[in-house]
Structure 1
Amino acid sequence: MRSEKELIIAAIDGDLDAFKQIISANERLVVHFVSRIITDENDIKDVTQDVFIKVFKNLKRFNFQSKLSTWIAQIAYTTSINYLKKNKVYVREIENSANENGGLEMTPEDLLIKKNEKDFLMEQIGRLPTMYRTVLTLFHINEHSYDEIEKITQLPAGTVKSYLFRARKQLKDNLQRYSKLKDGKIN
Structure 2
Amino acid sequence: MSSGQSAILSDRDVVKKIMDGDRHAATLLVRRTEKLVAQIVFKMLGNHPDRKDLTQDIYLKTFRYLPRFRFQCKLSTWVAQISYTTCLDHLQKYRLELITISTGDELSLGNTCSQEISGDIPDASQLLSIKERSEILEKLSTTLPPVYRTLITLFHKEELSVEEIRDITGLPVGTVKNYLFRARKVLKESLLNHYSKEDL
Fold shared by both chains (TM-score > 0.5): yes
Partner of 1:169: 185
Percent identity of paired positions between Structure 1 and Structure 2: 42
Asked if 1:12 is matched to 2:19, the reply is yes
Please tell me the residue identity of whatever aligns with 2:56: Q
Which digits, 9 at most, give the CA deviation of each residue in 1:153-179, with x for residues without a partner?
110000001111111112112222344
Q: d(CA) in 2 for partners of 1:45 and 1:136?
A: 22
Asked if 1:63 is matched to 2:79, the reply is no
**Aligned partners of 1:139 and 1:149 also within 8 Å:** yes
Asked if 1:120 is matched to 2:120, the reply is no
Partner of 1:160: 176
Partner of 2:35: 28
TM-score by length of 1: 0.74
Give the gaps of 5 or more residues in structure 1: 92-112
Partner of 1:97: none
Please tell me the residue identity of whatever aligns with 1:172: K
Identify the structure with bigger relative contact order (alpha carbons < 8 Å, sequence gap 6+).
2
**Aligned partners of 2:41 and 2:51 also within 8 Å:** yes
TM-score by length of 2: 0.69
CA separation of 1:21 and 1:177: change in aligned 2, threshold 3 A? closer
Q: State the Cα RMSD in Å.
A: 2.7
Asked if 1:39 is matched to 2:46, the reply is yes
Q: d(CA) in 2 for partners of 1:40 and 1:171?
A: 21
Q: d(CA) in 2 for partners of 1:39 and 1:180?
A: 27
Partner of 2:80: 73
Q: d(CA) in 1 for partners of 2:164 and 2:55?
A: 20
C-alpha displacement of 1:90? 8.3
